Amino acid sequence: MEGCFILCDLANDTTVVYNAQRAEQPFLPASTFKILNSLIALETGAVQNADESIEWDGEQRFVQEWNRDHTMRSAMQYSVVWFYQELARRIGEGQMHKWVDAVGYGNTQTGKNIDDFWLVGDLRITPRQQVEFLKKLVLEKLPFSRHTIGQVKDILIEDKTDRYIFRAKSGWATQGQHIGWYIGYIEIDGKAYIFVNNIDINSDADPKARKEIAKEIFKTAFDIDLDI
């Protein structure tokens, strides 16, 4: 399996990279863009908060959990595409590009298709750029209010114990060569470690590897058994 893994110790400003060449390659962000989409939606008032419900449009989709009303919190958990497409339409083309550009997210190319540019459009981001984006999220150096950033950090939590808090988002780009993402960060005893996993998806078994690789690395590095 071809892939790239980056682990960044934010406190010590040290980074370990597996496959440095791939770390510089641009890819569609796919559903990892939901992190920025959420920030922009909250900041612009597309929704008032992470628990505001948007009504399902009634269209049956292939993931059963998508076929109901959702909040940003539940839509992040189940990676509900239609919900985030609706958020993007509410934000609008002009505002979306303004904020993507202000953040400096990847190549910043939002294009003309407001509700799928992160899935099939021209937007691209490298694994290293994902790390830089996450650094700004952790350190709250993005151009959003602390309240907005706090809400998004909250809905990204996938696992939490007395020792650590683990936040993450997966993604699966299906245009051309299928690409899997798993990105996020873990806070252990008050220290933050950012990770980005990027792999080729060539078989039905490969999507699971996005999380499995991360679990193995965190087990080896920190003796943590993630429940993800």
Q: Is the dihedral of CA 174, 196, 135, 219 positive or negative?
A: positive
Pairwise CA distance, residues 69 & 55, whole Å: 5
Mode of pairing for the β-strands spanning 70-71 and 179-188 = unpaired
31 in active site: yes
Contact (Cβ atoms closer than 8 angstroms) between residue 122 and residue 5: no
Q: List CB contacts of 121: < 8 A, sequence separation 6 or more.
A: 28, 109, 110, 111, 113
Q: What is the DSSP string of 131-161?
A: HHHHHHHHHT-SSS-HHHHHHHHHHTEEEE-
CB-CB neighbours of 158 under 10 Å: 18
From the list 31, 38, 79, 170, the catalytic residue is: 31
Q: List CB contacts of 88: < 8 A, sequence separation 6 or more.
A: 37, 96, 114, 115
Q: Which residues are catalytic?
A: 31
